């Protein structure tokens, strides 16, 4: 066992103790205090050394094993894994906007890659020129290129691809390309993609909520037509298809306006956070009961919506990032539709 192993736990810190164990071991590896192939204390030994519960140490070691930082050898104990593969992969990660849920994708990807990759993130703000320039500057410099293709045209409408975008994507070796969130079947070669089916996802999610929706007089989609970070128009198409097939009275608004006219019992689907906040504020000010007088379905799950008990329709952002990491680590070139969920809460 390494003699330099000197784990310190801060009893007064609000950081969970298992996380302190992980951070301490990673820091010691980075400083060279723990060498590759060195044995570290067993779960029982570390538990006794630091006066920690066995479950706490076991949770830390499990995460370190999952990230391939340590390896367990039957009958011998735990060792720092080989480092010749660690940080071997250089990954360029292009995000269209720095929203909460896009960062959830990025964070889950980085966590799943663990010590086997160095990830460089670039935010191109749905701007075609920034996207192209970033790729051209980094062409050939990385082992993988992870891209989320969402752009805006001159009228601030959503565009999935342009001829120039396709041209620069075709320059990337396909075994190094993984496309997230949005896909383009016409791109040549075998490459990985984990995508949303925006039209059918909202259609199928609203079908699950049909009984609840029928309690209301009208279904209203708040879809921002002009936005710096526009949303796919396929969301609107899926919404319209649902309302048409199930004979639902509907309306599409650009935004939640100040001093909304709350007439009848309406259910709103909000996409942007500011519309959700504005709507909830007006519901409160008008002394309306959420889930009875007015319903809310929000697009894209966040921890805050869970806390506020807001019904959501959402792709699984964590799964999206983890699936991309799996394709990188296993060198897969699969085309996978990501999971999309209807999560019912008390706002509907």
pLDDT 10s digits, 224-277? 987 778 899 999 999 999 999 999 999 999 999 998 888 889 999 999 999 999
CA angle 328, 318, 54 (to 5 degrees): 95
User: How far is 343 from 340, CA to CA, in rounded Å?
Assistant: 10
Q: Which residues are paired to 184 by β-bridges?
A: none
Can you give the pLDDT at residue 123? Answer: 95
Can you give the pLDDT at residue 84? Answer: 46
Burial of 285 (C-beta count, 10 Å sphere; 0-12/13-18/19+): exposed
Domains of the chain, first to last? 17-80 (1.10.10.10), 89-196+317-338 (3.40.50.2300), 198-315 (3.40.50.2300)
Can you give the pLDDT at residue 85? Answer: 44
Q: Which of 327, 339, 314, 300 is nearest to 109 (CA)?
A: 327
Backbone dihedral region of 328: left (phi > 0), alpha (psi from -120 to 50 degrees) or beta?
Answer: alpha
Contact of 116 with 86, CB cutoff 8 Å: yes
Can you give the pLDDT at residue 51? Answer: 87
User: How far is 53 from 31, CA to CA, in rounded Å?
Assistant: 27
* Residue with token string 């969970």: 16
Can you give the pLDDT at residue 4? Answer: 58
Can you give the pLDDT at residue 185? Answer: 66
Q: Which pairs count as long-range contacts for 15-22, CB under 8 Å and 24+ apart, including other chains?
A: 17/52, 17/56, 18/56, 18/57, 18/59, 18/60, 18/63, 19/60, 21/46, 21/52, 21/56, 21/57, 21/60, 22/60, 22/63, 22/64
Query: Could you say which residues of the chain have pLDDT below 70?
Result: 1-5, 82-88, 185
Can you give the pLDDT at residue 86? Answer: 46
User: How far is 245 from 242, CA to CA, in rounded Å?
Assistant: 5
Q: Which of 136, 175, 126, 107 is nearest to 333 (CA)?
A: 175
Can you give the pLDDT at residue 348? Answer: 95
**Residue 60 parent element (H or E):** helix 54-66
């Amino acid at each position: 066992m390494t003699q330099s192993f000197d784990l310190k736990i801060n009893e007064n810190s609000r950081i969970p103790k298992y996380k302190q164990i992980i951070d301490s071991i990673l820091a010691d590896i980075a400083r060279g205090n723990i060498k590759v192939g060195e044995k570290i204390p067993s779960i029982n030994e570390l538990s006794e050394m630091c006066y920690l519960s066995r479950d706490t140490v076991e949770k830390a070691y499990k995460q370190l094993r999952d990230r391939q930082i340590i390896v367990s050898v039957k009958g011998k104990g735990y060792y720092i894994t080989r480092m010749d593969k660690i940080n071997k992969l250089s990954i360029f990660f292009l995000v269209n906007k720095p929203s909460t849920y896009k960062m959830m994708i990025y964070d889950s990807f980085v966590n799943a890659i663990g010590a086997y990759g160095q990830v460089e993130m670039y935010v191109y703000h749905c701007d075609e020129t920034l996207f192209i320039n970033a790729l051209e500057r980094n062409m050939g410099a990385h082992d993988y290129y992870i891209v989320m293709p969402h752009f805006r045209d001159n009228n601030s409408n959503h565009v999935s691809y342009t001829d120039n975008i396709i041209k620069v994507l075709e320059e990337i070796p396909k075994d190094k390309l993984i496309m997230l969130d949005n896909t383009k079947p016409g791109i040549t070669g075998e490459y990985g993609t984990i995508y949303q089916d925006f039209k059918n996802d909202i259609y199928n999610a609203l079908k699950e909520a049909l009984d609840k929706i029928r309690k209301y007089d009208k279904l209203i989609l708040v879809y921002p037509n002009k936005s710096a970070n526009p949303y796919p128009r396929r969301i609107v198409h899926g919404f319209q298809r649902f309302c048409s097939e199930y004979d639902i009275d509907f309306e599409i608004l650009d935004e939640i306006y100040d001093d909304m006219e709350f007439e009848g019992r309406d259910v709103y689907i909000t996409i942007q956070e500011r519309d959700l906040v504005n709507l909830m504020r007006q519901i409160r000010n008008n002394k309306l009961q959420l889930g009875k007088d007015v319903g809310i379905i929000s697009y894209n799950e966040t921890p805050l919506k869970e806390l506020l008990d807001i019904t959501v329709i959402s792709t699984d952002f964590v799964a999206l990032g983890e699936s991309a990491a799996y394709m990188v680590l296993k060198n897969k070139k699969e085309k996978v539709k990501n999971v999309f969920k209807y999560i019912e809460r008390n706002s509907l």
